[in-house]
Amino acid sequence: RLSKRLEMIAKQVPEGSRMADIGSDHALLPSYLAERGKISKAVAGEVNLGPYQAAAKQVRDAVLGSLIDVRLGDGLAVIQPGEVDVITIAGMGGALIAAILEAGQDKLAGVSMLILQPNVGESFVRTWLLEHSWVLIREQILEEDGKIYEILTAVPAQHTELTNGQLYESRILGAGITANEELQLKLGPYFLQEPSAVWFHKWKLELDKLEMIRGQLARSSQQETRSKEQLIESEIKQIKEVLACLQ
Q: According to CB under 6 A, which residues from 200 to 219 bind ligand SAM?
A: none
Contacts of 60 (CB under 8 A, 6+ apart): none
Question: Does 47 sit near ligand SAM (CB under 6 A)?
Answer: yes
Q: Min. distance of Cβ 90 from ligand SAM in angstroms? A: 3
Going residue by residue from 110 to 129, which x/- string records binding to ligand SAM, judged by CB under 6 A? --------------------
Contacts of 189 (CB under 8 A, 6+ apart): 136, 139, 167, 168, 179
Contact window for ligand SAM (CB under 6 A) among 17-25, 61-69, 136-144, 188-196:
17-25
Query: Judged by CB under 6 A, which of 8, 33, 46, 113 binds ligand SAM?
Result: 46
Identity of the amino acid at 132: H
The Cα 98–Cα 60 span in angstroms is 31
Closer of 31 and 123 to ligand SAM (Cβ): 31
Query: Judged by CB under 6 A, which of 30, 75, 104, 189 binds ligand SAM?
Result: 75
Tell me how far apart the terminal alpha carbons of the chain are, to the nearest angstrom: 35
Closer of 98 and 179 to ligand SAM (Cβ): 98
Closer of 5 and 202 to ligand SAM (Cβ): 5
Query: Judged by CB under 6 A, which of 8, 10, 19, 22 binds ligand SAM?
Result: 22
Quote the DSSP letter at residue 14.
P
Give, for 100, the enclosing helix (H) or strand (E): helix 94-103
Q: Min. distance of Cβ 236 from ligand SAM in angstroms? A: 29
Q: Min. distance of Cβ 50 from ligand SAM in angstroms? A: 8
DSSP string for 152-200: EEEEEGGG-S--HHHHTS-EEEETTEEE-HHHHHHH-HHHHHS--HHHH
Residue 154 · residue 136 · CB < 8 Å: yes
Q: According to CB under 6 A, which residues from 88 to 107 bind ligand SAM?
A: 90-92, 96, 100
Query: Judged by CB under 6 A, which of 7, 74, 181, 241 binds ligand SAM?
Result: 74
Q: Min. distance of Cβ 209 from ligand SAM in angstroms? A: 21
The Cα 23–Cα 1 span in angstroms is 19
Q: Min. distance of Cβ 210 from ligand SAM in angstroms? A: 25
Give, for 235, the enclosing helix (H) or strand (E): helix 223-246
Residue 151 · residue 115 · CB < 8 Å: yes
For binding to ligand SAM (CB under 6 A), which residues are involved? 6, 22-25, 45-48, 51, 74-75, 90-92, 96, 100
